[in-house]
Structure 1
Amino acid sequence: MDIAENQRDPLTGLLNRLGLEAALQEFDTLGRRGLTLFSVQIARFGHINSSLGGEIADRIITLTARRLQKTFPNALHIARTHGDHFCLLFEGLDAVEETIERLDDFTRRPFAVLGEIIVLSVRSGVARMDDSLRSAGMLLHGSETALQVAKETKTRASFYKPEMEEQARQAHRFENDLRVSIVHNHADLHRALANDEFQIHYQPIIDCDTGQLYAFEALMRWSHPTNGPVRPDLFIPLAEQIQVMHILGSWVIQKAIADAATWPPRADGQAVGVSINISACQFIEPAILLDTVSRALDQTKLDPALVKLEITESSAFVDTMSETLQRLKDMGCRIALDDFGKGYSCLTQLHELPLDYMKLDRSFLKDLESEDPAKAMRSRKLIQAILALSGTFDIAAIAEGVETRQQLDEVRQMGAKLVQGFLYSRARPASEIPDYIKNFVPGS
């Protein structure tokens, strides 16, 4: 096809969205069939742009475009539809799963850009021409719908199904109702706190060397009186957007520290710690965060060393981050970098931030038991590299998402200090934690 100037992305030279739509329309005209379209998004790429700057972000986009062209020479077209979104169009593609593997593999090979070492991850939505998608023009909508499902379910890839359309409409209606409710009535959150609609559930963290219970991670839950249970990945971004996350965040800190102060010791007499997630928004007004932690510790007399505060990679470059974290450490608290490797990883975070722990994202453990030996080996090598990195910086590594004994044995042998996952327990209501501690059998 002839490509007009306005159909090319000026940064990468690939087709833009207009160009891809024109190509799909032309294939319909020609009666081409057997097409498969991948919509691909770089996970949490916006934080690279905001934290490392536009020059590095643009460089990563161009390098990604080149890698895609080299990795998938069999693609009919590769397009950059907008921002961090790419599309790959294939004809007669049978090896869809293999293509997903190659997408996953090529993005996890590190980029070296202007002194920064960055590892990416992607999510994909896949649509194929069939009875539900009878034209090439419908493929783009189908693949983007599937991509949205992959993002919501936190899976690396999702395949389009017709029922996704109604699910998407229901989700949109629910999200819109919740957004209107919160935006028009900020008191809704205050009322929810007062009425015990918010709760904290706790998931155990286990010491690999001793098999002992080490700590619990505090995880927020909301049961809305009208909408019922609301997913944290829905209400937390909304709370951040309308700038009330400091209310929720302060409540979680106070409640989790107060709960931990009442927990019985382990059978050996050692106290059990608590791990609390801190939103990037809470660093915008660091005085509130610092005062909340200080007051909670003073009121409960809990040993600060038992309190671990978790930040995410996405929040690691807020201007006040490093100074505020150091002040929290000066209080005696411990600092962890959560979900390491999930979106993008930058070595300067490990060097510049006062970290005690780094949490290996659960996605890395899924492939350890793959029936594909090459896939399992790639996963194993990647975990080994990250755990070696944590050892280099003298940072204790926590492996999330441990669900089987094999996963536990492997990450322990590779150097993980702590583990967390369904192998030991789901997240439990606060009322169950004292008995869980009393009945816990080390090494079980």
Structure 2
Amino acid sequence: MAKYFLNILLLTLVIFLAARLGLQVSIAKDNISLLWPPTGISIAVLLLQGRKLWPSIFLGIAFATAATGIKWGFIFAAALTNTVEALLATQLIHYWQVDYKLERIYDVLKLLVIILIITPLMAGLMGATGFCLNFTCSPEMFFDISWKWWVGNAMGALVITPLLLTWSHPQFHHSPPSKQAIVFIITGFALLISTNLLVFGRFPITPLNLNYYPLQYLCFPFLIWAAFSLKEKGATLAIFLTVIIAIEGTLQGDQPFGVSESVHSNLLILWSFMLVVSIPTLILASAVSERDFAEEQLSILAYQDPLTHLPNRSAFYREVSNFLSSCQVGNTDQACAILFIDLNRFKEINDSFGHTLGDQLLCQVSQKVKGSIPQAYIMARLGGDEFAVLVPSFKGYKEIEILTQDILKQFESSFVIESCEFIIGATIGIVIGNCSYTKAEDIIRDADIAMYHAKTSNRKSCYFDPLMRQKVISRLKLEQELRRGIDNNELNLVYQPIVNILNQKIMGFEALLRWYHPERGWVSPGRFIPIAEETELIVEIGDWVLTQACQQLQQWQENFSTEISMSLSVNVSPKQLRENDLVAHVNQMIKLYDIDPENLNLEITETAILESNSKQVLDELKALGVRLYLDDFGIGESSLSRLYQLPLDVIKIDRSFVQGIPENRRKSAIAQTIINLADNMDLGVIAEGIETEAQKKELLKWGCLRGQGFFFSKPVSAEVATDLIANNHLS
């Protein structure tokens, strides 16, 4: 409370002195204030310190007007008018949400409307009314007093309120000005003051006479300089200095505003000058601030990730480039480390729960990982679920190992978002960089390669080795050649018989993809199919395989329609199963080639049936009449409950279990369990990879009646398969 009353006392004193000064700054014989400082001070103080200080305005104005010996009625009216004006102005400024820093043109315009039009007009009418209630005045005098009161208060607010508001905030947001900048600023303001003093007759120079209209506008270049160089603070200070010198020169009767014998003419010219000087300068300063803010935002967008607020890819590349450059010109023994972090299972969560939740998860991950690394290290989001950490210098590999483990520990606990708990992992690729690298993209690429190697090796982290790069290059080259191979019709199908194990009669075929490279020769499916799976090529290849298989099945049906019903199995990749048009494409092939859908078997892997929409797709395929096989059963992650829900017809035992029969008791037990499971679920069963008589006998003993493998036949061409169907028996 004591502090409050002390503030009231101090502000009362300031308002009193400002009012006395305002009464001194008046046109002779008319006692009309050219500029009423209490208005500008009152509005600024109430905005900055709170409206609770309003009694100071009333008291300060009352004491100042009382000192002139005027009637008490008018003293009360003048004090009330100034107090209401300041309170109304602050209320409107808050209501219109004007930013006190005046860094936007919109804020400047709103403030000018309030302090130049609305509140001073109201004050002029109130003040003139108070005058006429206490003194005799005609209607002409009422309006004359009103507009002069209005303009005097408006000028006081225009010159002083922006000055106090802008200078109440720190001037330099980033760093203090240099000595050279300080000298430049002082020189600029010195030239502004000197020019104004010359123009307004305070430094008369003979025979050069500058103090006549319109040479007062010679100050404009310096006002523009202040607005551009120092923005709002420079502009408001330059306006204040210019106006004060102009008023002082006018009061002394000097040119260009003090030469007319008409007080009204001098007032109009001076007030017009004050408006012309102040308003464009304030708007220009705010325009410069808006431009600088836009440039700053563009810089942020260019180098900051908008989601996590971490440095983005461009910023990270810039930091790495700076390090490599310093390494080249400085300490050649200097080394850095880059950790390339990729999140595991993020895409699955993002696709299943939506991008909004995925974005929140990325933010949590970035915060946890950022908090686990030293501040000297630079962490960035490269895009998607990929992050990177730059270690500018380190003492040894142990430090990198500790950092890697600290990051991985952040993924041991779950992430909770919107009452949902998620457990995700991370894979980290590490590269140690030195002067052998000259480009940021090279060292970051190697860290990415190390991460990829760790992921394919089921490891959490891995250091880069140059051999990894050669493998990646070889893989990329093979991918390019595969794309060309598709265009050049280098792919073809072979067919492996599926037989009755008991009598070795052919019951169907499985279509298998092969690639004959013009230079490499036959390329193993184990090499090119994983590459196709990682890209969208598998969808294009899968559609081609389905088309070729249906065309071949049509030929067999036409050739052997009366002798035997032959089925054909086609593998469907998980990516094909996710395609929206798979069901339509299968239906189109059935109708186009007029094949019996019961003779078309689609083989789905366990990985594919884990997809959230797999049951719906399988139900739609089943409705077409095709048969559904679960391929490579036993090596995936499907649960029995999921298996029970799907419209399957056959389970295929993976070759890894069959090849262990009968020597490996565990594999034999698993194979036997799968056969019993299929029997209990009324599903057919086919054993893959049968290569020996012993395997065939054991499977037959356990109740598996169908199988395929080299023991019966290798995959054969369509011509050979046609001959086998004609014989309907494998010898």
Q: TM class by shorter-chain length?
A: 0.5 to 0.7
Q: Name the CA distance, whole Å, in 1 between partners of 2:599 and 2:630.
A: 16
Question: Contact 2:610/2:638 (CA < 8 Å) preserved in 1?
Answer: no
The aligned residue for residue 726 of structure 2 is: 438
Higher relative contact order (CA closer than 8 Å, sequence separation 6+): 1
Describe the shift of the 1:331–1:229 C-alpha distance in structure 2 as closer, same or farther (beyond 3 A): same
Describe the shift of the 1:382–1:271 C-alpha distance in structure 2 as closer, same or farther (beyond 3 A): same
Which moves more between the two structures, 376-385 or 356-365?
376-385
**Is residue 279 from structure 1 mapped to residue 579 from structure 2 by the alignment?**
no
Q: Which amino acid aligns with 2:495?
A: Y
The aligned residue for residue 610 of structure 2 is: 317
The aligned residue for residue 107 of structure 1 is: none
Q: Name the CA distance, whole Å, in 2 between partners of 1:331 and 1:403.
A: 35
Question: Contact 1:307/1:334 (CA < 8 Å) preserved in 2?
Answer: yes
Q: Counterparts in 2 of 1:46-125, with a 5 A limit?
A: none
| Residue number among 298, 302, 308 corresponding to 2:591 in the alignment | 298
Could you tell me the TM-score, scaled by structure 1's length?
A: 0.57
Question: Contact 1:350/1:393 (CA < 8 Å) preserved in 2?
Answer: no
| Residue number among 290, 306, 331 corresponding to 2:624 in the alignment | 331
The aligned residue for residue 192 of structure 1 is: 485
The aligned residue for residue 652 of structure 2 is: 359
TM-aligned CA deviation for residue 244 of structure 1:
2.8
Q: Name the CA distance, whole Å, in 1 between partners of 2:547 and 2:534.
A: 22
Q: Deviations over 1:117-150 (max 9, x none)?
A: xxxxxxxxxxxxxxxxxxxxxxxxxxxxxxx9xx
The aligned residue for residue 177 of structure 1 is: 477
Q: Name the CA distance, whole Å, in 1 between partners of 2:520 and 2:502.
A: 44
Question: Contact 1:263/1:433 (CA < 8 Å) preserved in 2?
Answer: no
Which moves more between the two structures, 249-258 or 264-273?
264-273
The aligned residue for residue 554 of structure 2 is: 261
Q: Deviations over 1:352-383 (max 9, x none)?
A: 1110011100111222242xxxxx33332222
Q: Name the CA distance, whole Å, in 1 between partners of 2:700 and 2:651.
A: 15
The aligned residue for residue 347 of structure 1 is: 640
Question: Contact 2:687/2:706 (CA < 8 Å) preserved in 1?
Answer: yes
**Is residue 418 from structure 1 mapped to residue 706 from structure 2 by the alignment?**
yes
Question: Contact 2:607/2:638 (CA < 8 Å) preserved in 1?
Answer: no
Q: Deviations over 1:4-39 (max 9, x none)?
A: xxxxxxxxxxxxxxxxxxxxxxxxxxxxxxxxxxxx
The aligned residue for residue 691 of structure 2 is: 403
**Is residue 386 from structure 1 mapped to residue 674 from structure 2 by the alignment?**
yes
Question: Contact 2:662/2:698 (CA < 8 Å) preserved in 1?
Answer: no
Describe the shift of the 1:316–1:435 C-alpha distance in structure 2 as closer, same or farther (beyond 3 A): same
Could you tell me the TM-score, scaled by structure 2's length?
A: 0.35
Decide which structure has the larger Cα Rg and report it.
2
The aligned residue for residue 323 of structure 2 is: none
Using the aligned pairs only, state the percent identity: 33
Describe the shift of the 1:360–1:172 C-alpha distance in structure 2 as closer, same or farther (beyond 3 A): same
Which moves more between the two structures, 296-305 or 257-266?
257-266
Q: Which amino acid aligns with 1:308?
A: N
Q: Deviations over 1:249-290 (max 9, x none)?
A: 111001011111112667981221100000000122232x11
Q: Name the CA distance, whole Å, in 2 between partners of 1:419 and 1:223.
A: 27
Q: Name the CA distance, whole Å, in 2 between partners of 1:400 and 1:50.
A: 31
Question: Contact 2:567/2:600 (CA < 8 Å) preserved in 1?
Answer: yes
Q: Counterparts in 2 of 1:245-256, with a 5 A limit?
A: 245-256=538-549
TM-aligned CA deviation for residue 399 of structure 1:
0.4
TM-aligned CA deviation for residue 248 of structure 1:
0.8
Q: Which amino acid aligns with 2:708?
A: Q
Question: Contact 1:286/1:320 (CA < 8 Å) preserved in 2?
Answer: no
Q: Name the CA distance, whole Å, in 1 between partners of 2:633 and 2:594.
A: 31
Stretches of structure 2 that go unaligned for 5 or more consecutive residues are 1-343, 353-404, 409-452, 458-464
Q: Name the CA distance, whole Å, in 2 between partners of 1:296 and 1:268.
A: 22
More helix as a share of residues: 2
Describe the shift of the 1:269–1:440 C-alpha distance in structure 2 as closer, same or farther (beyond 3 A): closer
Which moves more between the two structures, 348-357 or 221-230?
221-230
The aligned residue for residue 7 of structure 2 is: none
More strand as a share of residues: 1
The aligned residue for residue 185 of structure 1 is: none
Which moves more between the two structures, 290-299 or 203-212?
203-212
Q: Which amino acid aligns with 1:284?
A: R
Q: Name the CA distance, whole Å, in 2 between partners of 1:252 and 1:177.
A: 23
Aligned-pair Cα RMSD in Å = 3.4
Describe the shift of the 1:209–1:386 C-alpha distance in structure 2 as closer, same or farther (beyond 3 A): same
